[in-house]
A and B are shown apart, each in its own frame.
Chain A
Amino acid sequence: MTPAPRRPFLQRLGDRAEPWLYSAPALIVITAVMLVPLVVGISYAFRDVQILNPFSGGFVGLDHFRALAGDKAFRVALVNTFWWTVLTVLIQLLFGLILALLLDTPFRGRGIAQALVFLPWAVPTFLTGLNWAWLFNPTIGPLPHWLHALGLLAEPSNILSDPNLALWGPITAAVWWGIPFFAITLLAALQSIPSDLYEAAAIDGANPFQRFWSITLPFLAPVIAITVLLRTVWVANFTDLIIVMTGGGPADRTQTVASYIFTQAFKRLDFGYASAISLVLLFLLLAYALLILLLRQRLIDRDK
């Protein structure tokens, strides 16, 4: 056996480079539009970037993070983010599930109802925010008067300016806006449950509540897990309603981490500090996503 003669260098180089050349356009686009901004954004967190200060831009190391550790507004925002996200997602899930169950039972005009339910989703969030801000405004909106009549408010005032209640304003708007998403995904999952399971359970002696508990819920669980995961990340990052309705006020009582980033970047024009906060939020959400994925994997393994 004689060793195969070595092919010319250029040919070997061509062979090596071929797959890279084919994928180059896609790689270049991904690098240009995704990786470069990401790296630049992360680099801001370690630099002093203030739009109105022409002498800024220098490397400051971990200064931003040190400042963040002592920033009381940030800690308030962190707590607010927790309540804002948990309450919004859970109430959306609850009402979305109820709505999906209602839409799953046949009635006249169900097709139209299903289409109408989707409507809030189609309203721009900016409009949603304005609309709800007006609804909560006692001079033009009916809600404070109704809440007062129900005895829930001592007087028909604007809850958006009440430090103890303000967060409920954006939460209400976010719930209204986000219910359709849960309703539609859960409805799709509900409709995939074979009806003979319910019949078998009815014959086995299960009442409607037991049927819901032992058939509907286990079937919905994986869908609920994945939608809750998606919505949590989404809602935690969702600032439109807060910016439009309260701007983070009164006295930072509705400031979430995401809206705090917005405030730091576009009101105080301190991009460096805003990037540092963003980085922290990114790591928090990554940790959360990892936790949920592990949990999900365990659920799937248990099901095998």
Chain B
Amino acid sequence: MATIDIRSVSKAYGGHAPVLTDIDLSIRDGEFIVLVGPSGCGKSTLLRMIAGLEAISAGTIAIGGRVVNDLAPKARDIAMVFQSYALYPHMTVAENMTYSLRLKKTPRATVAEKLEAASRKLGLDAFLARKPKALSGGQRQRVAMGRAIVRAPKAFLFDEPLSNLDARLREQMRAEIRKLHAGLGATSIYVTHDQVEAMTLADRIVAMHGGIIQQVGSPLDLYDRPANLFVAGFIGSPGMNFLPGRWDAGARAVRLSDDSALPVERAIDLPDGSAVTVGVRPEHVGLGGDGGLAAAVDLVEPTGHGIILHLRLQDQPFKALTTDRRYLTPQESVRVTMPADRLHLFDGNGDRIA
């Protein structure tokens, strides 16, 4: 177990645009950090740099206070779970899990002890003599985790470990990873493109886009106070609605394209007439009532526990989430209200205002 300190780290492949720019991140001992972002945002590259599988172009990475830039992966005392699991196909489950220990010439009794403890924790006792190809996806996933656990490393690195599983199994493994972390208390860095995984697993989420950290914070921080348009749109499902508008300093409201006003309660210091983007989450949109704005209904999507309404509001796509089954019957238009305390405001650069 250890802290991980990432200082001004960059990564560039000769002659190309940088993959990562000036990454700064301090990870506390025992923390569960999730790196999240769309594919190509550099999250996997960052993880592989921590693991020692990619060279660091600039900056330093320290594990447990020791700079590891020039250390080989095996000297960093970390364990990694790969998306493909990367199990050794010709070794049995037990051999897979103990490979690292055997390489270190650990006494046989210790190996057996650690193997037993890990396999019991993961429910793999019955499969120890099997080869990986005789296992299901979920079992292979467990073996990959077991291989990491037996080593008791300073840090666990997870590279999209659940993306090859089906939805139900993913949900189950998510809960198990969380429980496992609670039991082991080891520093963990988890890479995913799935914001639900990020929200449910993380102590802190690191949202990345274009090789730059967009926001670092607890899951609810990112949900309640997204730092910019990217985070606002990426976290939450269905995604946040955005409407362009102008700030009316006199009325203390946002004027939308049809000149209708959305009053804002917070103190906002913006020049009159500057361009802003209003964001509101589908689950916070009010439907029906007399006031509000008129929206045309494009599509009704029932999800079982709720209904997603695909609307057009002032020619912008707009989604609303409701549990009211009245909206299942097709209607031509609905009235939409947006509570003032649920509005997010972003300036012309896409950064959050107040």
Contact, CB under 8 Å: A210 / B84: no
Q: B76-110 vs A: 1/0 string, CB under 8 Å?
A: 00111010101011110000000110011000000
B-side contacts of A196, CB under 8 Å: 82, 84, 86
Check if A31 is an interface residue, CB within 8 A of chain B. no
Q: B273-285 vs A: 1/0 string, CB under 8 Å?
A: 0000000000000
Check if B73 is an interface residue, CB within 8 A of chain A. yes
Chain A nearest CB, measured from B164 CB (Å): 12
Contact, CB under 8 Å: B103 / A204: yes
Chain B nearest CB, measured from A200 CB (Å): 4
Q: How far is the CA of A196 from the CA of B164 in the complex (A)?
A: 15
B-side contacts of A303, CB under 8 Å: 90, 131
A-side contacts of B84, CB under 8 Å: 194, 196
Q: How far is the CA of A14 from the CA of B51 in the complex (A)?
A: 74
Check if B53 is an interface residue, CB within 8 A of chain A. yes
Given contacts A194-B86, A196-B86, A199-B82, contact A204 B147 (CB under 8 A): yes
Partner of A205, one of B74, B86, B88: B74
Given contacts A199-B86, A218-B90, A303-B90, contact A206 B103 (CB under 8 A): yes
Check if A36 is an interface residue, CB within 8 A of chain B. no
Check if A203 is an interface residue, CB within 8 A of chain B. yes
B-side contacts of A194, CB under 8 Å: 84, 86
Contact, CB under 8 Å: B103 / A205: yes
Minimum CB distance partner of B72 in chain A: A202
Contact, CB under 8 Å: B86 / A197: yes
Check if B134 is an interface residue, CB within 8 A of chain A. yes
Q: How far is the CA of A201 from the CA of B52 in the complex (A)?
A: 12
Minimum CB distance partner of A217 in chain B: B90
Q: A135-168 vs B: 1/0 string, CB under 8 Å?
A: 0000000000000000000000000000000000
Contact, CB under 8 Å: B104 / A205: yes
Contact, CB under 8 Å: B80 / A203: yes
Check if A56 is an interface residue, CB within 8 A of chain B. no
Minimum CB distance partner of B51 in chain A: A203
Q: How far is the CA of A202 from the CA of B52 in the complex (A)?
A: 9
Q: Size band of the B side of the interface?
A: 20 to 34
Minimum CB distance partner of A196 in chain B: B86
Q: A37-63 vs B: 1/0 string, CB under 8 Å?
A: 000000000000000000000000000
Contact, CB under 8 Å: B80 / A200: yes
Q: How far is the CA of A194 from the CA of B85 in the complex (A)?
A: 11
Minimum CB distance partner of A206 in chain B: B103
Contact, CB under 8 Å: A202 / B99: no
Q: A182-205 vs B: 1/0 string, CB under 8 Å?
A: 000000000000101101111111
Contact, CB under 8 Å: A204 / B82: no
Contact, CB under 8 Å: A206 / B82: no
Minimum CB distance partner of B134 in chain A: A304
Q: How far is the CA of A204 from the CA of B80 in the complex (A)?
A: 9
Check if A215 is an interface residue, CB within 8 A of chain B. yes
Chain B nearest CB, measured from A223 CB (Å): 13
Contact, CB under 8 Å: B74 / A202: yes
A-side contacts of B99, CB under 8 Å: 201, 204, 206, 214
Contact, CB under 8 Å: A215 / B88: yes
Chain B nearest CB, measured from A7 CB (Å): 53
Partner of B88, one of A197, A202, A304: A197
Chain A nearest CB, measured from B267 CB (Å): 51
Q: How far is the CA of A202 from the CA of B73 in the complex (A)?
A: 6
Those of A210-258 within 8 Å (CB) of chain B: 210, 214-215, 218-219
Chain B nearest CB, measured from A189 CB (Å): 14
Contact, CB under 8 Å: B74 / A206: yes
Closest 4 CB pairs of A and B: A204-B100, A205-B74, A200-B86, A218-B90
Query: Apart from A203-B74, A206-B103, what are 15 other A-B pairs with CB-CB below 8 Å?
Result: A194-B86, A197-B86, A200-B82, A200-B88, A200-B147, A202-B74, A203-B52, A203-B73, A204-B99, A204-B100, A204-B103, A205-B74, A210-B103, A215-B88, A219-B89
Q: Which residues of A contact B (CB under 8 A)?
A: 194, 196-197, 199-206, 210, 214-215, 218-219, 303-304
- Can you report 8 A-B residue pairs in the complex whose CB atoms are below 8 A from each other? A199-B80, A200-B86, A200-B88, A201-B88, A203-B80, A214-B99, A303-B90, A304-B131
